[in-house]
Structure 1
Amino acid sequence: MNTLLALYQEMGWGLSLLVLATFLLAGTVKGVIGLGLPTVSMGLLGLAMAPAQAAALLIVPSTFTNIWQLMLGGHLRGLAVRLWPMLLAIFVGTGIGSLWLGIDGGKWVVHALGGALVLYSLSGLFLPVLRVPARHEAWLGPLCGVATGIITAATGVFVIPAVPYLQALGLNRDELVQALGLSFSVSTLALALGLLWHGELGGGELGASLLLLVPALLGMQLGQWLRQRISAVMFKRVFFTGLALLGAHLLING
């Protein structure tokens, strides 16, 4: 129990409450739109702590919720066969990024995190629905995978360009949700290995991350309840607008 609480004791009550509230909100967003837990948590926690520490805290909630997401839908085998070049490239790209860049706590990392959030938000708000012809998947998938991996290693955000690419494959809703869970699971595993390599992920961080499963899962339940009662389109607009403002703040003042 001391291991689980050690990091929170170091952070103090104020920052600990911010962390818990952040994962409750991030889980709620994921419950409504099917993604956003690591993006929201990295963006908000980037205001108060080093990105490497924030990334370490999201490992367990992100892994658990993404594996849960990828196991639902019945399309896992087909998606794994179709997407394995991209998934392998994410792993390789994250490894390259961890060796080359890494979330080392430098000020540039906070600016990079802000830039990634702004780019993702703008793509969510304004990018039209694209379609990737099947003949281009063989080269475009690995290219997007490597880019996603490098951005993941530098910022802890693994949605760019993976999410727009997957959305452009013409998958049905169930397939897309499962494909996102598969991509995020690989990204989280690769990020965890990168953090471990840099000494940023130890027993204290994993224990603190494990406790964050509770607010993340509560948030997901709340989000699923809200999804039946609010406009998903309007929620996405508010979400991406807020994320863009947060990213802009980190980019300019981070």
Structure 2
Amino acid sequence: MTILDKIIAFKKKEVAKIKAEVSVKKLVESPNFKNTSFSLKKSLLDPYSTGIIAEFKRQSPSKGIINDKVSISEVTEGYLEANVAAQSILTDTSFFGGTIADLLEARIINQQKPILRKDFIVDGFQIVEAKAIGADVILLIATCLTSEELKNYGQLAKDLGLEVLYEVHTQEDLDKISDLDDKIIGINNRNLKTFEVDLEHSIKLASQIPDSTIKVSESGISDPRIITGLKEYGFQGFLIGENFMKTENPGLACQEFISQIR
């Protein structure tokens, strides 16, 4: 059993428990549900966009604790000051040390940039929940879902006014997504089964994705020169978490990184 299998099995039990305690009606009645979402597409396609989706991540199964000292509020403010294209927030508690409260708090501060809820979506309930906590974008990981689930969850997100970042790692993942046209496709450079990182992987897979999609490179980006290289292969978005979070001041690290891209 891989770490990913463990996460998904645990997540299904966790969501079933939450569903028994919280009604969809209650989620729909939450204040954030009325929000008009900020568009990740629009943000990444803006000619002045940095393309950086900066992540708040306390820990990971492969690295353990990355940073448990900084607060979500100071990091959010720092990322906004750095002029990120979007913010990504881990809401998985058991494996990544994130919480729904993190996203709720960031939303109060961040009233101008899209927020991606980074979690393992295994149930439509979590998509309604994402809207209720103030997220603008959800992550759908193709490795963990069937093509039918990807289609249905994608449609539900759209109906709720949310955008979707479809994450793929292999050609098989890509084949599960019906009609790539106009979608946001994230290529994860980290193999979710072994947690090894390979940037060349993004480049190979990118050639299989039509130009009508927005391409996002995820994981393992630690040098601004990598961004320049990836842009040549049509990437418009770059999800970076650990590189900023492992520093004492993630917002400042992000600012310095972005200043070297231009």
TM-score (normalised: structure 1): 0.30
The structure with the largest helix share of the pair is 1
The structure with the largest strand share of the pair is 2
Which structure would you say has the larger RCO, counting Cα contacts within 8 Å and 6 or more residues apart? 1
TM-score (normalised: structure 2): 0.30
